[in-house]
A = this chain, B = another copy of it.
Amino acid sequence: MSKDERRVKHITPKTEDFSRWYIEIIQKSELADYAPMKGMMVIRPYGYAVWENIQRLLDQRIKATGHVNAYFPLFIPESFLQKEAEHVQGFSPEVAWVTMGGKEELEERLAVRPTSEAIIGHMYSKWVKSWRDLPVLINQWANIVRWEKVTRPFLRTTEFLWQEGHTCHETSEEAQTETLLILSLYKEFVETELAIPVISGIKSFREKFAGAQETYAIEALMSDGKALQMGTSHNLGQHFSKAFNIRFEDRNQNLQYVWQTSWGMTTRLIGAVIMSHGDDSGLKLPPRVAPIQVVIVPISMGNWKEDVLPAAQAIEEGLKKVGLRVLLDTREEFTPGWKFSEYEMRGVPLRIEIGPRDVKAGQAVLVRRDTREKMTLPLDAMASKVPGILEDIQASLFREAETFLRENTRQAGGYEEFKDVMDNQRGFVKSLWCGSDACEDKIKEDTMATIRVIPLELKSQAGPGACVCCGKEAKALAYFARAY
Contacts and interface: CB of A to CB of B under 8 A. Distances in A.
A378 B74 CA distance: 50
Interface stretch (A30-38, A342-350, A473-481): A30-38
A224 B2 CA distance: 57
Contacts of A93: 102-103
A138 interface: yes
A97 B98 CA distance: 5
Interface in A40-58: 40-45, 47-49, 51-52
Nearest to A45: B68
Nearest to A3: B132
Nearest to A95: B102
A255 interface: no
A384 interface: no
Nearest to A93: B102
A96 interface: yes
Contacts of A361: none
B1 A73 contact: no
How many chain copies does the complex carry? 2
A2 B100 contact: no
A36 B249 contact: no
A72 B49 CA distance: 14
Interface string A256-276: 000000000000000000000
A93 B80 CA distance: 27
B101 A100 contact: no
A73 B112 contact: no
Nearest to A126: B33
Interface size grouping (class) on chain A:
35 or more
A484 interface: no
Contact of A132 (B51, B94, B99, B333): B333
A47 B72 CA distance: 12
A2 B130 contact: yes
Contacts of A48: 68-71
B42 A129 contact: no
Contact of A74 (B44, B127, B147, B159): B159
A69 B52 contact: yes
A293 to B, nearest CB: 16
A386 interface: no
A102 B112 CA distance: 11
Contact of A35 (B51, B52, B123): B123
Contacts of A94: 102
B101 A99 contact: no
B147 A73 contact: no
Contact of A40 (B49, B69, B75): B75
A161 interface: yes
Interface in A309-361: 333
B1 A42 contact: no
Contacts of A101: 95-97, 147
Given A96-B100, A112-B98, A147-B101, A77 B1 contact: no
Interface string A354-394: 00000000000000000000000000000000000000000
B97 A37 contact: no
Nearest to A98: B96
A143 interface: yes
Contact of A73 (B3, B100, B159): B159
B36 A122 contact: yes
Interface in A88-110: 92-103, 109-110
Interface in A274-328: none
Contacts of A72: 35, 42
Given A45-B70, A97-B99, A129 B33 contact: no
Contacts of A132: 1, 3, 333
Contacts of A95: 101-102
Given A71-B161, A95-B101, 8 more contacts: A35-B123, A36-B119, A36-B122, A37-B73, A43-B71, A47-B70, A75-B145, A98-B98
Interface of A: 1-3, 33, 35-37, 40-45, 47-49, 51-52, 68-75, 77, 80, 92-103, 109-110, 112, 119, 122-123, 126-127, 129-130, 132-133, 138, 142-143, 145, 147, 159, 161, 249, 333
14 contacts: A3-B132, A33-B126, A42-B70, A43-B71, A45-B70, A48-B68, A51-B71, A71-B161, A74-B145, A75-B96, A93-B103, A97-B100, A98-B98, A99-B99
Pairs of residues from A and B, 10 with the lowest C-beta to C-beta distance, nearest first: A97-B100, A45-B68, A43-B71, A101-B147, A1-B129, A40-B73, A102-B147, A35-B73, A99-B99, A45-B70
